[in-house]
């Protein structure tokens, strides 16, 4: 749809093909925080934050300007002054202290920040790192691309408070409806057909009401236009038919009086003239374009029945991953039961799911799964598509579909003909999520395991997921921080993993 592209244009990273982007004032600092989740190779987390917040660039420019000033390079004084102003505005002077304080608050310990290794971050750590970048960024305009992904309740509260209190202009892309309702004062909607933008004032809820009213008006205007157009077209057709019939009747008439016959012929021709008048009215009728129906994901989650009476069990199970140890845990997941797994980032939600699925070995205890359990999963990192194999091959292998059928399935989830032949790891986060949902639709399951399934999904797709989950008859294990999804999906059990700690997670835990 071009949302991220629009942010890049506003940030000055991409030149528009037409028109201009005007920055007021020209010296205003604009910060663009993308969906990037990983440090670059050899980059410490502290260096990653310095780069993301613009501090690293400001430091480099300031140092270069200082060298030029000391060497007496022409124009160096102006460049030094401009570099100093930017260095000050962006908060480079006290960045180290601010970074320590913010990351400590978020549970990213100093030893983790300064580590210069290819440290594998968990989804929760990546989320907190992205949040730290937002909290540390000082700018006149802040551009945020999907800032809520993977954030827990505390993180969302911090982000909401920061955005609401910020003196900067904030432009954000998000599919978190509750976050939008709490933070926005205006909505810009991109039309997928016309590629134009419409501005709605008044925040998220006002946008929904105004959009619904606008759609209703557009439909009513089109129906009124279509009814008048069809009526005039039918009148023209009937009038011409009457005229032709009249002319034929005159020609076949046995009337011998030439004057009478001439008058009848004129009457028939006058009827044809009326049709021409109707045609001219039809031509002057202002056309109203029929409202187009936006693409909408049609998601079904076929069930393969309830399966075994007990889907999963853990008996005196202890599981350890990184700095988190859960257990001993005694847990039985019955067929058809619906569970929501809760807890803050890094508390072990994904670890518990990994233990239940047998993906993470137990330190001690036992784990079992029902003999007829068929699992469908959308994991937090969408790892099924973290491969160099073509997307199409991944789907064919996972579903057993013919290649043509797999292409058709992916097309329904907006993964197009060119995309399916690319290496799966090159998919965008949204494409990975939609492809993961396509796999669920292609396979009958007795158990769905969904770990943050709404990340990177558009609003229409989230609505479809809610509807599909509401009628799914199998077992459901759900991890989500999407507050409106959590409210919409009824569950039988809610399990907070903080009650399962054998040892509390350390700061920066996975």
pLDDT (mean) for 394-406: 92
Quick check: 117 pLDDT over 60?
Answer: no
Which pLDDT score is estimated for 331?
95
Which pLDDT score is estimated for 290?
85
Which pLDDT score is estimated for 296?
72
pLDDT (mean) for 404-422: 90
Chain-wide mean pLDDT for the chain?
A: 86
Nearest CA to 233 out of 185, 174, 282, 296 is that of 282
Nearest CA to 348 out of 331, 336, 360 is that of 360
Compute the Cα dihedral for 464, 466, 469, 471 and give only its sign. Answer: negative
Out of 22-26, 119-123, 447-451, 489-493, pick the least confident: 119-123
Banded pLDDT at 257 (limits 50, 70, 90): low
Which pLDDT score is estimated for 499?
86
Q: C-alpha angle with apex 138: 134 to 144, nearest 5 degrees?
A: 40
Banded pLDDT at 491 (limits 50, 70, 90): very high
Q: What is the pLDDT of residues 3-36, one digit of tens each?
A: 888 999 999 999 988 899 998 888 888 999 987 6
Quick check: 510 pLDDT over 70?
Answer: no
Structure tokens at 90: 């962006």
Nearest CA to 122 out of 357, 339, 321, 343 is that of 321
Nearest CA to 303 out of 492, 476, 479 is that of 476
Which pLDDT score is estimated for 352?
94
Residue partners of 252: CB distance under 8 A and separation at least 6 = none
Banded pLDDT at 200 (limits 50, 70, 90): very high
Which pLDDT score is estimated for 323?
74
Quick check: 37 pLDDT over 70?
Answer: no
Out of 40-44, 248-252, 279-283, 362-366, pick the least confident: 248-252
Cα 369 to chain center, whole Å? 33
pLDDT (mean) for 448-464: 88
Q: What is the pLDDT of residues 417-438, one digit of tens each?
A: 889 999 999 988 888 888 999 9
Which pLDDT score is estimated for 207?
93
Structure tokens at 296: 């909408």
Look up residue 500 and give its DSSP letter: G
Report yes or no: 148 and 159 within 8 Å, Cβ to Cβ: yes
Q: What is the pLDDT of residues 281-337, one digit of tens each?
A: 888 888 888 888 776 778 888 887 767 899 999 999 999 887 788 989 999 999 999
Which pLDDT score is estimated for 252?
63
Which pLDDT score is estimated for 75?
87
Nearest CA to 455 out of 445, 444, 446, 465 is that of 465
pLDDT (mean) for 374-400: 90
Which pLDDT score is estimated for 246?
64
pLDDT (mean) for 266-283: 73
Which pLDDT score is estimated for 508?
45
Banded pLDDT at 157 (limits 50, 70, 90): very high
Which pLDDT score is estimated for 509?
45
Which pLDDT score is estimated for 459?
86
Quick check: 72 pLDDT over 80?
Answer: yes
Report yes or no: 448 and 440 within 8 Å, Cβ to Cβ: yes
Out of 24-38, 216-230, 444-458, pick the least confident: 24-38
Quick check: 507 pLDDT over 50?
Answer: no
Banded pLDDT at 339 (limits 50, 70, 90): very high
Quick check: 503 pLDDT over 80?
Answer: no
DSSP string over 109-162: -HHHHT--S-----HHHHHHHHHHHHHH---SEEEEESTTTT--HHHHHHHHHH
Instruction: Quote the CA–CA distance of 184 and 422 in Å, as a whole number.
Output: 37
Nearest CA to 363 out of 296, 416, 413, 316 is that of 316
Out of 103-107, 341-345, 378-382, pick the least confident: 378-382
| pLDDT: which is higher, 264 or 93 | 93
Quick check: 118 pLDDT over 60?
Answer: no
Which pLDDT score is estimated for 268?
60
Burial (CB < 10 A; 0-12, 13-18, 19+), residue 288, is middle
Is residue 220 classed as helix, strand or coil in its secondary structure? helix
Which pLDDT score is estimated for 119?
55
| pLDDT: which is higher, 414 or 192 | 414
Question: Could you give the percent of the chain with pLDDT greater than 90?
Answer: 50
């Amino acid at each position: 749809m071009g949302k991220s592209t629009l942010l890049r244009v506003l940030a000055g990273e991409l030149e528009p093909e037409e028109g201009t982007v005007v920055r007021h004032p020209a010296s205003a600092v604009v910060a663009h925080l993308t969906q990037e989740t990983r440090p670059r190779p050899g980059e410490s987390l502290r260096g990653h934050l310095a780069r993301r917040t613009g501090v690293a660039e400001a430091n480099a420019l300031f140092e270069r300007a200082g060298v030029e000033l000391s060497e007496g390079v022409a124009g160096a004084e102006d460049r030094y002054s401009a570099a100093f102003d930017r260095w000050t505005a962006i908060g480079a002077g006290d960045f180290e202290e601010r970074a320590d304080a913010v990351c400590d608050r978020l549970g990213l310990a100093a030893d983790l920040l300064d580590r210069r290794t290819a440290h594998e971050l968990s989804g929760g750590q990546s989320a907190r790192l992205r949040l730290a970048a937002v909290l540390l960024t000082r700018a006149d305009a802040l551009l945020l691309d999907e800032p809520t992904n993977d954030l827990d309740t505390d993180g969302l509260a911090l982000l909401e408070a920061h955005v609401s209190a910020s003196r900067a202009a904030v432009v954000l892309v998000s599919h978190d409806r509750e976050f939008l309702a709490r933070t926005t004062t205006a909505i810009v909607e991109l039309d997928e057909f016309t590629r134009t933008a419409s501005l709605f004032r008044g925040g998220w809820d006002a946008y929904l009401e105004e959009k619904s009213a606008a759609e209703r008006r557009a439909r009513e205007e089109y129906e009124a236009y279509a009814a008048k157009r069809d009526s005039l077209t039918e009148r023209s057709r009937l009038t011409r038919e009457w005229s032709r019939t009249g002319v034929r009747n005159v020609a076949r008439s046995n009337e011998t009086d030439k004057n009478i016959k001439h008058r009848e012929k004129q009457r028939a021709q006058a009827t044809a003239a009326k049709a021409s008048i109707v045609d001219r009215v039809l031509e002057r009728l202002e056309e109203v374009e029929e409202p187009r129906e936006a693409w909408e994901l049609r998601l079904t989650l076929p069930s393969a029945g309830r399966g075994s009476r007990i889907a999963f069990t853990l008996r005196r199970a202890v599981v350890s991953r990184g700095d988190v140890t859960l257990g001993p845990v005694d847990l039985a997941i019955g067929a058809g039961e619906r569970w929501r797994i809760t807890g803050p980032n890094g508390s072990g939600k994904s670890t518990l799911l990994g233990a239940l699925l047998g993906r993470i070995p137990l330190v001690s205890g036992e784990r079992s799964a029902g003999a007829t359990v068929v699992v469908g999963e959308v994991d937090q990192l969408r790892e099924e598509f973290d491969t160099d194999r073509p997307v199409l091959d991944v789907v064919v292998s996972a579903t057993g579909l013919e290649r043509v059928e797999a292409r058709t399935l992916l097309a329904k989830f907006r993964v197009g003909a060119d995309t399916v032949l690319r290496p799966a790891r090159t998919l965008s986060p949204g494409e990975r999520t939609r492809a993961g949902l396509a796999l669920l639709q292609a396979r009958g399951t007795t158990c769905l395991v969904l770990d943050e399934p709404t990340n990177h999904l558009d609003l229409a797709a989230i609505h479809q997921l809610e509807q599909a989950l509401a009628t799914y008859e199998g077992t459901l294990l759900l991890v989500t921080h999407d507050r409106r999804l959590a409210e919409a999906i009824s569950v039988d059990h809610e399990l907070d993993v903080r009650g399962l700690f054998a040892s509390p997670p350390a700061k920066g835990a996975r």
